[in-house]
Structure 1
Amino acid sequence: MKAWYLLYCKPRGEVRAQQNLALQEIETYIPTYPEEKLHKGKVTVRRVSMFPSYLFVHFDPQITSVARIHSTRGVIRIIGCKELMTAVDDGIIQAIKLREHCWLNELLPNTDSEQQNAAEVAIECGDKVKFVDGPFAELEGVFEETNGEKRCFVLFEIMGKQQRVAVDKAGVARLD
């Protein structure tokens, strides 16, 4: 049966592990919170991992090999009691997601429905995306990070190798 498990990752490696698990089509979740920083006289907000070096993974150990999870780049081990994996209750995950959503709403209040719809479809690190135009049109990849206001990095597999490409944000769309 599918359940959430907690993974311990290499230091500051939870995003890398998430990207590699996404390439294997394994659902993951990294809880974040908004952090305000003053930089050059401007207040900027960025999302910071709530539990550095940890990420949640949702899979069925009867279907997906635990060894496959352990051998994923960036992953050190699945957290558990003694030698047994311990599933995390779905209620805990939902509570964390709700709290994360509340923090974002407090910090970034949306009054316009268009802004709210845009925020719902915002692409986040680890999301599967599809190139909608350009030389990679119709190829799928994994969103890595933004690069300025209009560009982003996308990871995709070509010729058996993972490649990182900088593209226009408008050139990719989130897959649901």
Structure 2
Amino acid sequence: MESKSAASFLHEKKWLLIYTRPKWEKKVDQLLKQQGIESYCPLRTVQNQWADRKKLVSLPVFNSYVFVRVTPREECEVLYTLGVIKFVYYMGKPAVIRDHIIEQIKINLTLYQNVEVVNLQSINIGDRVKIKQGVFINQSGQVIQIMGKKILMVFDQIDCALVTCIPFGHVVLNNIKNENEITSGNV
């Protein structure tokens, strides 16, 4: 009886999460599928604008993560795939993602095309940020308030204090001390 349960364990497929090289999510997904391994890289479509054109591109919802549905035997094949760094672990074992969570992600991406994952812990009040898109692109300032997925910031590179509300996805952390603070010894 034990050998039957052990055999079924070796053939039981579970969703696991793998960590990939940066910007390799779609390539890893493709390589895994070519090997016959079930994988899922959730994508969202965004419009990128360059100086001369606009283009719709598919970007991963989760940077550097891909889901795989594998048996314990297939786990080694996943690790040997180009671009895969490691499995994500929880309590010393590969983190198992429940089937309904994967289905919920798929449903939400179908229903809501503007889904974006924002790490709210990366920006704090007092941080210096730089705007990476929108009307105030390349302007820097200081975060004075966090309101859900938006921040209230003060621009200090213009002659007056201009306060505006910017979505989290439009800024990058820029906590480099300015030259005046370094030379005056106020580090």
4+ residue stretches of structure 1 with deviation over 3 A?
A: 38-44
Displacement of 1:104 in angstroms is 4.4
Largest Rg, 1 or 2: 2
Encode CA deviations 1:93-112: one digit per residue, 9 max, x unaligned: 1111011112349xxxxxxx
3-state SS in 2 of match to 1:68: helix
| Residue pairs, 1:28-107, within 5 angstroms | 28-39=39-50, 43-61=54-72, 64-104=73-113
1:5 aligns with 2:16: yes
State TM-score, norm by structure 1.
0.52
Higher share of residues assigned strand: 1
| Letter matched to residue 46 of structure 1 | V
C-alpha spacing 1:37/1:14, structure 2 compared with 1 (3 Å):
closer
| Letter matched to residue 100 of structure 2 | G
The structure with higher relative contact order (CA 8 Å, sep 6+) is 1
Encode CA deviations 1:91-133: one digit per residue, 9 max, x unaligned: 111111011112349xxxxxxxxxxxxxxxxxxxxxxxxxxxx
State TM-score, norm by structure 2.
0.49
| Letter matched to residue 92 of structure 1 | I
- Residue 27 of structure 1: aligned partner: 38
C-alpha separation in 2, matches of 1:41 and 1:103: 29
Encode CA deviations 1:63-94: one digit per residue, 9 max, x unaligned: x3322221111101111214311210111111
Gap regions ≥5 residues in structure 1 = 106-176
Encode CA deviations 1:20-65: one digit per residue, 9 max, x unaligned: 211210011111112123345755322211011110001121xx33
3-state SS in 2 of match to 1:5: strand
CA contact (8 A) 2:28 2:82 kept: yes
Q: RMSD over aligned Cα, in angstroms?
A: 2.0
The aligned length equals 103
CA contact (8 A) 2:26 2:60 kept: no
